[in-house]
Structure 1
């Protein structure tokens, strides 16, 4: 076998080995968080008179050690305020008729179901009344539509960053593309998720702003890294925005249900921050979205800065530019 014949065969074998290695990394990255969902320092409140609340908090800790970060509040009204401010996911309220569970299923339907089960263990198996203080959209009670509808926004934003890098020359053109994409993605995304599918039901303007900022941040991250590092940067951007950011985002669950520190790391990546901000905008009047807003703004600013500061703003080498016979010389 000649050297010329061996070279393509070796390259093909190398590609196969690299693809299998990537598969071996991606399968556990996507499957492990979903397979190991469990509460880890999940913020909950216990409401009632001090002795009763303290005893109830102790029982909750005994049922699932290290699962909950318990805060005691004075009464049901204080517990409901904490739920609306996204300070806790649920509250056990001790009253004259026993224990009731106040939830905010809009924050994470999976958490509401889990805490309903835990409350049943505290009441010796008797049914516990559940008050959903901040419910999700009635057309999407389990939050599956929200999760499934948000991830295509991430994929489209990643592709926008890639295409702007490969097809648009010049910093000004890429900047215009990023601004136009963010300005269009916000209202269109809100129209689909809110008006058409009905999986979010908040203030339309706030939803438009949240989706538009996320789309700009994700696309600018990919485009900025592409401008700085070429095709390697595009690959790194795809990893941050989608391949790693997606499974660690907790879009369909809650960060505190993922193995740590991955749940926390996911909130510092565009998809996790974007999902948190959109939930806050759609169901909580913006409460609990401050950090996500800052994270996305940071990605957008840094990404745009990389696009503008990269000298020449040319396409990565080999991106399909035509070479004239004169320039070839």
Structure 2
């Protein structure tokens, strides 16, 4: 009876844990399916910023016909202003309507999928007006990588560059004592790996242009944001926190980054959420540094800095909790050691 009384609660706890793990894995797989499938199924131009310039009548007609769910039309005073807006990432493309011709300005490096849609729109309008359409790609990919394959492939090394150091450092320097060492190691790894990734992309595959040190700083910032966030979650919540952070980076951050297509090709809500996650912000920062001289780099850099602050904040909370627990254990040990041991007396033999 005593054996049965102890076995039943243990068996119940095992079953409860099993159910929780199975349900958690099911939710994880479902989330992964939604994150990868839904944005792809609903991908396409969604409120893509498009600039136009031309005669007042042409501008008004275009604005009435295009402004809607697909395009977000902005009017510019002239061709130079429109071109500057494309180069500054204020718009992804532009249409300059001139008598007898139509100039289409695109930036393939900024939004590859949207660039195709802008060029197709220009061809359609030119056919309707019976004029010639000339496409000017003002910010193309590099000549050695005209499709931007290297830029797209860079996202996975950046994500794994955040996950692997956090996992390995947590194993090599475990516990509260190793927390600061883990954070320092993550920052050092990001510095070395970020510089290496940028060097490969710029000097080996020639996939990106711009200033090398600016590109390297962007990659370093992205890796640091991911690794410190994971370390902070792991320190605060244990392996459950690490698993949550890894799923956030890989299962949501990767498909919602928009690095291959440009964020405007995803549904509006998904796109905005993706740019708030470290992979999306890191990809956007690398793109703008490599091809747009850092134009519009402020927002993704701010997002990544916010994640670093959040991760370090989690780690500080965990560090404070660890110090408090260590102090409590030390006090308990000191109290036990200060209590004098009760001398054991020899039993008195009874005489007869």
Q: Shared topology, TM-score over 0.5?
A: yes
Residues 101 and 116, structure 1, Cα contact 8 Å, conserved in 2: yes
SS in 2 for 1:100: strand
2:43 — aligned with what? 37
Residues in 1 aligned to 2:233 and 2:23: alpha-carbon distance in whole angstroms: 27
The match for 1:307 among 312, 315, 334 is: 315
Q: Kindly indicate whether the alpha-carbon contact (under 8 Å) linking 2:169 and 2:182 is maintained by their aligned counterparts in 1.
A: yes
- The 5 Å alignment of 1:175-324 reads 175-311=183-319
- Select the structure of larger CA radius of gyration: 2
Q: Would the alpha carbon gap of residues 12 and 295 (structure 1) be closer, same or farther in structure 2, given more than 3 Å must change?
A: closer
Aligned residue in 1 for 2:146: 141
Q: CA RMSD in A?
A: 2.5
Q: Which residue of 2 aligns with 1:115?
A: 118
- Give the deviation of 1:177 after TM superposition: 0.4
Give 1:163 deviation, angstroms: 2.2
Is 1:46 aligned to 2:52, yes or no?
yes
- SS in structure 2 of the partner of residue 70 of structure 1: strand
Deviation of residue 237 (structure 1)? 1.0
- 2:91 aligns with 88
SS at match of 1:138: coil
Partner of 1:57: 63
TM-score normalised by length of structure 2: 0.80
Alignment of 1:96-115 (within 5 A): 96-115=99-118
Query: Match of 1:251, SS?
Result: coil
State the Cα distance separating 1:123 from its structure 2 match: 2.1
Cα distance, 1:49 vs. partner? 2.9
The answer for the alignment partner of 1:322 in structure 2 is none
Measure how far apart 1:21 and its partner are: 4.8
In structure 2, C-alpha distance between the alignment counterparts of 1:255 and 1:290, rounded to whole Å: 16
- How far apart, CA to CA, are the structure 2 residues paired with 1:291 and 1:76? 27
Q: Which segments of structure 1 move beyond 4 Å, counting only runs of 4 or more? A: 2-21
Deviations along 1:25-60, one digit per CA (max 9) or x if unpaired, are 312321221222111111110012322222222233
> Is 1:172 the equivalent of 2:180?
yes
Task: Confirm or deny: 8 A CA contact 1:101 1:128 kept in the other structure.
Answer: yes
SS at match of 1:311: helix
Shift of 1:227: 0.8
